[in-house]
Amino acid sequence: MEHEIPESLALMLETVRRFVKQDLEPISKQVEDEDRIPDNIVQTMRDLGLFGLSIPEQYGGLGIGVLGECMVYEELSRANACFRTRIGTNNGIGSQGIVIDGTEEQKGHYLPRLASGEWIGVFALTEPEAGSDAANIQTTAEKRGDFWMLNGRKHFITNGDIADLATVFAVTNKTEKAKGGITAFLVEKTFPGFYVGAIERKMGMRGSHTCELLFDDCQVPAENVIGGLSMVGKGFKTAMKVLDKGRLTMGASALGSAQRLLELSLDYARQRVQFGRPIGEFQAIQFMLADMATQIYAGRRMLYHAATLRDRKGTAVVKEASMVKLFCTEMANRIADMAVQIHGGMGYMKDFPVERFYRDLRLTRIYEGTSEIQRLVIARELLKGK
Ligand SMILES: Cc1cc2nc3c(=O)[nH]c(=O)nc-3n(C[C@H](O)[C@H](O)[C@H](O)COP(=O)(O)OP(=O)(O)OC[C@H]3O[C@@H](n4cnc5c(N)ncnc54)[C@H](O)[C@@H]3O)c2cc1C
């Protein structure tokens, strides 16, 4: 199966490549040092429509499909993965619950705001006691008249500090839990009882923040259950559908960073001289470069195949999405390690971008489902005969 790139997507990619080269790569170190993306860059991202890549055109987005979205993420992550993260929650986990399971009113009300980047949408599933075991969440929602009262604490929420809208998962039936007792709510930052907690201090991914979100008798109107009344208790399924797509885009982001690391390593191997020769003439270095390029090639073919399959089917490709996330993120981490090795001591220095990529890529094996959880998903699908 070949992936076809429509002309409109080819033009979009051309624009994004120019934006990355001219605007993002030169400020990647500044973003790392200051731990923030400058406002003018965020505004350009809005102007280019990047916040609405995955949102259907009828709701103000570009609706470019999963393959197109993956290709854009590859480009952004060549500079610094935090640029992808800034738009990533609006296109992915922070909007897809509405796109997939929302009512027509919810789509019409929220999606245009997310697509334009006027609002930031986030996804709040993880809690201190419920990470991989997401069905064990403790946040509760109790019906009181026309409102649901949410109580609990989420942590590690990407873009939580700048969120305008959170898709929040809470227990509405303690005995049923994932089998019919978890509900997805659309919570606006202005709802009484919604608080942003501490911003967590991370190993990397500076320029992108994760934080706690707190709910203290947070009043959520009854109509803000994703999908409406009939979807009460069905939120866990919504969460799983959202995460499935995220696994492809996460693979794309890791791949983009890996590609940049290969290019940086090639440049360094050509110009660094030891023993009177460029280090690229040593077979040990050549073998690392060859392994990097080969693994990137495999990862890219796998990603484009799975993303094309998903676009054609229009529904989840569970096994393939988990395979892509597992392979591409593990592969990019191996490549980051080789890139540091090729750069020698310079690879360990903050002045060189490989040091940052090495730290940032470590996260990709953990969030949106760890590598171990991806293996469990793949094995479960295989044993089901899929
Ligand atoms: C920077 C960052 C951003 C994040 N953003 C978000 C966000 O926006 N929204 C959100 O809801 N969450 C977010 N997360 C949470 C993320 O998805 C979880 O951290 C992840 O799912 C793992 O959960 P955990 O950290 O609790 O680890 P744990 O689940 O405690 O896992 C610890 C270890 O045990 C392993 N393990 C657990 N269960 C099994 C098993 N059954 N079999 C084999 N091994 C197992 C894991 O693979 C891991 O190696 C973010 C996390 C980080 C670090």
Residue 235 structure tokens: 């939120």
364 ligand 1 Cβ < 6 A: no
94 and 184 in a single domain? The answer is no
The answer to whether the CB of 78 falls within 8 A of the CB of 142 is no
Considering the domain architecture, whether residues 247 and 375 belong to the same structural domain is answered as yes
How far apart, in whole angstroms, are the C-alpha atoms of residue 130 and residue 334?
29
Distance between Cα 53 and ligand 1 center (Å): 26
Pick from 234, 254, 276: which residue ends a domain? 234
Please identify every residue annotated as catalytic.
368
Domain end, chosen from 174, 201, 234, is at 234
Q: Does residue 288 sit in the same domain as residue 362?
A: yes
In a domain, 267, yes or no: yes
**Predicted local distance difference test score (pLDDT) of residue 163:** 98
**Is residue 276 domain-resident?**
yes
359: Cβ below 6 Å to ligand 1? no
User: Residue 314: its pLDDT value, please?
Assistant: 85
Same domain, 156 and 80: no
Place of tokens 């942003």: 196
Instruction: Let me know if residue 1 belongs to a domain.
Output: no
Structure tokens given for 269: 């191997």
Is any atom of ligand 1 closer than 6 Å to the C-beta of 212? no
How many domains are there within the chain? Answer: 3
Whole-prediction pTM value? 0.96
Binding site membership of 373 for ligand 1 (Cβ less than 6 Å): yes
* Position 2 in a domain: no
94 and 74, same domain (yes or no): yes
Ligand 1: which residue has its CA nearest to atom 12?
126
Structural domain contains residue 212: yes
- Picking from 181, 206, 234, the residue at the C-terminal end of a domain is 234
pLDDT for the residue 4: 72
Output the six-digit token pair for 87.
């738009």
Give the domain CATH number at 367: 1.20.140.10
Residues 243 and 284 in one domain: yes
Q: Say whether both 211 and 269 belong to one domain.
A: no
In a domain, 249, yes or no: yes
Residue 210 CA to ligand 1 center (angstroms) comes to 13
Instruction: Looking at the structure, tell me whether residues 65 and 202 fall in a common domain.
Output: no
Domain of residue 336: give its range: 237-383
Residue 205 Cα: closest atom of ligand 1: 1
DSSP string, 316-355: --HHHHHHHHHHHHHHHHHHHHHHHHHHGGGGGSTTSHHH
Q: Which atom of ligand 1 is nearest to the CA of 202?
A: 1
C-alpha of residue 244 to centroid of ligand 1, in Å: 15
Ligand 1 atom with least separation from CA of 158: 8
Cα(294) to centroid of ligand 1, in Å? Answer: 29
Euclidean distance between CA atoms 348 and 362, whole angstroms: 15
- Give the atom of ligand 1 at the shortest distance from the alpha carbon of 124: 11
CATH code, 87: 1.10.540.10
Could you tell me if 62 and 74 lie in one domain? Answer: yes
Q: Digits of tens for pLDDT over the chain (386 positions)?
A: 556 788 889 999 999 999 999 999 999 999 999 999 999 999 999 999 999 999 999 999 999 999 999 999 999 999 999 999 999 999 999 999 999 999 999 999 999 999 999 999 999 999 999 999 999 999 999 999 999 999 999 999 999 999 999 999 999 999 998 999 999 999 999 999 999 999 999 999 999 999 999 999 999 999 999 999 999 999 999 999 999 888 999 999 999 999 999 999 999 999 999 999 999 999 999 999 999 999 999 999 999 999 999 999 888 899 999 999 999 999 999 999 999 999 999 999 998 999 999 999 999 999 999 999 999 999 999 999 98
**Residue 249 shares a structural domain with residue 377:** yes
366 lines ligand 1 (CB under 6 A): yes
Q: Taking the CB of residue 140, how many other CB atoms lie within 10 A of it?
A: 16
Q: Is residue 308 part of a domain?
A: yes
- At 190 the three-state DSSP class reads coil
Token pair of 286 as six digits? 């050549």
Would the CB of 120 count as within 6 Å of ligand 1? no
Q: 183: domain CATH number?
A: 2.40.110.10
What is the pLDDT, as a whole number, of residue 2? Answer: 57
Q: Are residues 357 and 258 in the same domain?
A: yes
In this structure, is residue 28 part of a structural domain? yes
Question: Do residues 223 and 247 both lie within one domain?
Answer: no
